[in-house]
Structure 1
Amino acid sequence: MTNRPATIHAVIAFFLLSALIFFLYSQTLHAPFLFDDDVNILGNPSVRITELNLHSLAHAALDSPMASRPISNISIALNYFFHGYSTTGYHITNIIIHLLNGIFLYLFLKTTLDLLPAKNPAANSNDLIALITTGLWLIHPLQTQSVSYIVQRMNSLGAMFFLISLLLYIKARLSDLPFRYWLYAASCIAALLAFGSKENTVFLPFFIFLYEWYFFQNLDRQWLKRHLLPIFGIILLLGTISIIYLGVNPWQTILDSYKTRDFTLGQRLLTELRVVVHYISLIIFPYPARLTVDYDFPVSISLLNPASTLLSLLVIIAILIYGVRIATRDKLTSFCIIWFFVNLIIESSVIGLEIIYEHRTYLPSMLVILLLVQIGDKILKHGYIKISIVALIFLCFSCWTHERNRIWADDLAFWLDNVQKSSGKARPQNNYGKVLKAKGRIDEAIYHFKEAIRINPHYDQAHYNLGNALEGSGMLEEALGHYEEAIRSNPKFALAHYNMGVVYEKMAKPTEAANHYIEAIRLKSNYAMAYNNLGILYAKQGDYQKALEHFETALTLQPDDTFARQNINRCRILMNNRQ
């Protein structure tokens, strides 16, 4: 039977939490697109839908850079349809998804705690523990990377459907026939939506099976033996999903993912031991000075270099052993431990991704916070002490999240924060320079581009950006040198070839300019601007027919290109005058 007062209290609490969340994230409502937003949103023509139909949505879903995340791509395309490039709509959507995750997390925790035997201390205050856990998770500073960073909608959306699917399965197990089957079907649909949002949800079938065994079968080993076929089915399903994501040769795909990295597979595995322990420390103490986006995290060379690698391995092994040994006495603690580590496997193991990102803790941190709340509830005996400590933590987390969002609200503050916290890494220097250049602070931008090159002499983007800044300052010879360095580091850098063409045009060297425009088109066949500029060169040489062909190609590739359209009209006038 539903506890009516508890339900009313929960609803009131969620209204208050929602108001708090909107306040904490209000300063990010007009925050710009940042970092990978450039590739996945601004530089992704597939999500620029102007009509709301199946064809445009399918195009957005499957032709985007992250084609394995069609549901996330569709959500971004819908934002573009309604809001264009005004970021407010994107940010409001992210905040709403975060709040929905809070609701589903509360329902999941409350339902799970109610399944525990009454003798479990947690069962005496299930509503309050679920509510406090959810509140702390919602306002936790670590979540800013999944909420304020627009493209990490993929992360929060995947977590939302993960929770919905698991919750629907639990509700199905607690329901009578035939309604149970409808809930199972809904759970499967939510699972597919989770898989289509982000790959880190792939272990959802494992957690459904694990939840069944822990909380409905009471860790009955005989039941486990009788269900070897479903276990095999889950393994087969995980293998199938891996092939969908990684191709028919997953291992080769994994090895290929290291081609552009400055660390090996072995080094990444060793480093992730320290990263996982670092994640735990951030969940416990998320002070803003410890948080950043573009970490300069030292790579582990061996178990003893640095020594914290071995220490981290021992800590992880100890926690896992404890989680297994305590399972029969404290199922919830054991499940929380498994939840954290398994949900990190995809992004913290063999695939050659970036070493560390805070948004990877979004889903794993949920039950770690529950575990910490439980520990506090058991240790602290007096009610007023519990209330005081919870209030203090809420206050600290709220202040820290507000402080962190101040950084997310401004691109200059964002990249300056990364430069200050990762001063030995080239990318923050380069990206800070780009923002400075966009704001007209050219001399400062040039300094940071040079810093990026000092740190990494073969950084193609830094050479390109420095060349661009020098070109804008009239230093054409110096600009050419850095464009050449960019191409030397990245022979497929079409944009650098294009800019070399522009510089050679300014230097009155049309042959060299044409050669680089042609190379840019060879590397990027849909490069409308290169076609347009090449057409202008042909027109200047009097080859109007060839110029017209290039202008028309540019317009076909980019129908809203007014320059190409004007050039076509001028070219036709010149052709008619010649006749």
Structure 2
Amino acid sequence: TGELNEWMQAATSIPGQHLGRWLTTASFAANYFLGGLDPFGFKLANLIIHLINGILVFAVLCSLFRLIQPNSPTRSQPTLIAAAIACFWLVLPINLTPVLYSVQRYESLSLVAILLGLVWYCRIRMRVMQDQASVWRLGIPLLLLGAIGVTAKESALLLPVYAACLELSLWRSLDKSRRRHLLTLYGAILLAPALVATFWLWSWLGPETGSLRELSTFDRLITEGRVLVLYAQWTLVPNPSALSLYHDDFVASNGMLSPVSTLFSAIAILVAIAIAWRTREKQPTVSIGLLWFFCGHAMTATIVPLELVFEHRNYFSSIGLLLCVLPISIEALQRRLSTRAAAAVLVSIFVGYAAMTALRSFEWSDPIRHSTSEVIRKPESARARLEHARTLLIAAAGNPSTHLFEAAVENLTACMPLRRSGIACEAMLIMETGRVSKDLVASAWASLQRKLRERPPNDSDSSNLFSLLSCTAMPDCHADPENLGVALDLAADHPRPIAPFSFVMGEYAGLVRHDPSEARVWLYRSLEQDPKLHAARIRLIQLLAARGEMAEAAEQIQRLRETDRFGTYAEEIASIMGTSVSAGQVP
């Protein structure tokens, strides 16, 4: 309806484990308000943001070249080189997903703030060099645009780090007094957050808690070394068979020699860092470009237990690689070739990038074509097969006699034994084929229960278990409550279950086993683990009110109200209150 509280509810609907992201979520709400769920509007908005970022890349590089011009190989034509880098960046195949994958607007919108901050920083830095501004003013764009960028995505926190990379090449442009002021400024901006982040990340260190992806901290770090080398390759020399939305089939390293490319990648990274240090004054574009590439992955390729590989993480880092390679390449071409020949080489490379991006875009233009190409490209990816099966099932419209339905079942069956497949494929097979093949369903239940016996459930598993629980209440769904109960009990045997799983256990205990005491225990446990799990609190309030435990229900309602700043759950609270009043009990 466009009311302010509804906009605020939409903006703050992002899960609590994410820091902010309200601006991007509000932009999704705006897309929905203007055009519903039509994907065209979402992708058009992403394209506009991408083009704005291209303009800002040009502006950043122009400002940067003016700063480093006395020592830069680009002093004769900085504007043309800045334009070339911006144009190349706009059509890089690796930058496709921030445009066509709607959810990656988080990344592209945060980059708007980062680039604006760098433009502003470079302009103030020029005035500092000309004795027209104080060093302390450099903190304004870093703090202001960094704070704004965080409302799009946490990656904007790296803005001060990117600016610090510039200072390695600009250090000698300041006298001793200003250098001390600059060190103090960066100490205040970077040191305190770094200490807080180190304290928070300390709990992730070590083989037991070092990763939610079943990797020790060391193995994760050396694996990410291989990933960084692949990112550089995919950016500068893209291979259509390697670029994909899904990389869950990537095999982690197990020591420096398993595989041996782990060692080679580590050596390559150390050499690149050494080059960045040695070239910081004589070839600042090389130094800054390399540092931007590595710093762009500081959050996602270190010890934070995130997914190992995602192409969109190169959205900023790819600027660094182009800045490192393109200026010196243009200079080399100009020394060896005529102006026209050098231009022809650059145009040919640009056309090659653009053509590959256009081919990827064509794949994405049709859901079945896209999901099929992803499975062909990544046959060992459980996510690719799961998404292909989901797409085929939608196209089959539930008709089991179609070849689309059969192909979907084949993909789900092939998905189940894949490494890191979770239980999503089993859950979909149970829900979609229950009325078609009892043998398939039996094998799916067996596989699902085996996986939950061998390892504790994660967030994805909990979500799929909740889908199966919801399915049991539907007349046209053939998910067996008894098999689900066995699966849940197996998962519950693992120590320290996560909050979403505890919530599912509470729901199952209340809805299927009709055991409110057990449901209450699990719901309280889920809220102890995650007090912001509002669905669990609402269910607990309903349970307490139904049992006449009005004092506890009132306490839980108060806690819900304290965290429900924009009235997201006002209707649920009013409904509970109304039910209690009609029963003569007021919480």
Shorter-chain TM-score bucket reads 0.7 to 0.9
Do structure 1's residue 252 and structure 2's residue 215 form an aligned pair? no
Moved more, 419-428 or 271-280: 419-428
Provide structure 1 residue ranges, at least 5 long, that are not aligned to the other structure.
Answer: 1-49, 532-555, 569-579
| 3-state SS in 1 of match to 2:254 | coil
Do structure 1's residue 316 and structure 2's residue 264 form an aligned pair? no
In structure 1, what is the equivalent of residue 557 of structure 2? Answer: none
Shift of 1:480: 6.5
Shift of 1:411: 2.3
In structure 2, what is the equivalent of residue 418 of structure 1? Answer: 374
Contact 1:102 1:134 (8 Å CA) reproduced: yes
| TM-score (norm. length: structure 2) | 0.73
In structure 2, what is the equivalent of residue 236 of structure 1? Answer: 191
Q: Alpha carbons of 1:262 and 1:444: their partners in 2 closer, same or farther (altered >3 Å)?
A: farther
- Give the 5 Å matches for 1:299-338: 299-338=252-291
Q: Alpha carbons of 1:185 and 1:323: their partners in 2 closer, same or farther (altered >3 Å)?
A: closer
CA distance in 2, matches of 1:273, 1:251: 21
Do structure 1's residue 443 and structure 2's residue 403 form an aligned pair? no
Q: Alpha carbons of 1:458 and 1:405: their partners in 2 closer, same or farther (altered >3 Å)?
A: closer
Q: Alpha carbons of 1:389 and 1:257: their partners in 2 closer, same or farther (altered >3 Å)?
A: farther
Moved more, 90-99 or 449-458: 449-458
Contact 1:458 1:486 (8 Å CA) reproduced: no
Moved more, 328-337 or 215-224: 215-224
| TM-score (norm. length: structure 1) | 0.74
| 3-state SS in 1 of match to 2:246 | coil
Q: Alpha carbons of 1:122 and 1:162: their partners in 2 closer, same or farther (altered >3 Å)?
A: same
- Give the 5 Å matches for 1:161-560: 161-175=113-127, 185=140, 188-212=143-167, 214-215=169-170, 217-218=172-173, 224-225=179-180, 227-239=182-194, 242=197, 249-252=200-203, 260-295=212-247, 296-381=249-334, 382-440=338-396, 441-456=404-419, 459-471=422-434, 473-475=435-437, 479=441, 482-483=444-445, 486=448, 489=452, 490=457, 492=462, 493-502=465-474, 515=512, 526=535
Contact 1:195 1:202 (8 Å CA) reproduced: yes
Q: Alpha carbons of 1:88 and 1:52: their partners in 2 closer, same or farther (altered >3 Å)?
A: farther
Amino acid at match of 2:314: T
In structure 2, what is the equivalent of residue 61 of structure 1? Answer: 11
CA distance in 2, matches of 1:164, 1:197: 14
CA distance in 1, matches of 2:405, 2:251: 31
CA distance in 2, matches of 1:288, 1:266: 31
CA distance in 2, matches of 1:368, 1:313: 18
Shift of 1:412: 1.9
Shift of 1:76: 1.6
| 3-state SS in 2 of match to 1:249 | helix
Count of aligned pairs between the two proteins:
483
CA distance in 2, matches of 1:498, 1:508: 11
Shift of 1:507: 10
Amino acid at match of 2:203: Q
Contact 1:487 1:496 (8 Å CA) reproduced: no
Shift of 1:400: 0.6
| 3-state SS in 1 of match to 2:369 | helix
Deviations 1:461-504 (A, max 9, x none): 11101101212x34468537635754662484222123234479
Amino acid at match of 2:146: A
In structure 1, what is the equivalent of residue 43 of structure 2? Answer: 91
CA distance in 2, matches of 1:480, 1:57: 45
CA distance in 2, matches of 1:346, 1:105: 21
Shift of 1:119: 6.1
Do structure 1's residue 100 and structure 2's residue 52 form an aligned pair? yes
Deviations 1:235-280 (A, max 9, x none): 334337738xxxx733225778766424332222111111111111
Shift of 1:177: 6.9
Amino acid at match of 1:299: A
Q: Alpha carbons of 1:505 and 1:149: their partners in 2 closer, same or farther (altered >3 Å)?
A: closer
Amino acid at match of 1:250: L
Shift of 1:74: 1.9
Q: CA RMSD in A?
A: 3.8
**Percent of matched pairs sharing the same residue:** 22
Contact 1:500 1:516 (8 Å CA) reproduced: no
Provide structure 2 residue ranges, at least 5 long, that are not aligned to the other structure.
Answer: 397-403, 486-507, 524-532, 541-567, 580-587
Q: Alpha carbons of 1:505 and 1:330: their partners in 2 closer, same or farther (altered >3 Å)?
A: closer
Q: Alpha carbons of 1:457 and 1:186: their partners in 2 closer, same or farther (altered >3 Å)?
A: closer
Amino acid at match of 1:252: S
Do structure 1's residue 123 and structure 2's residue 90 form an aligned pair? no
Deviations 1:116-150 (A, max 9, x none): 34463301011110111110010111110111111
Q: Alpha carbons of 1:253 and 1:119: their partners in 2 closer, same or farther (altered >3 Å)?
A: closer
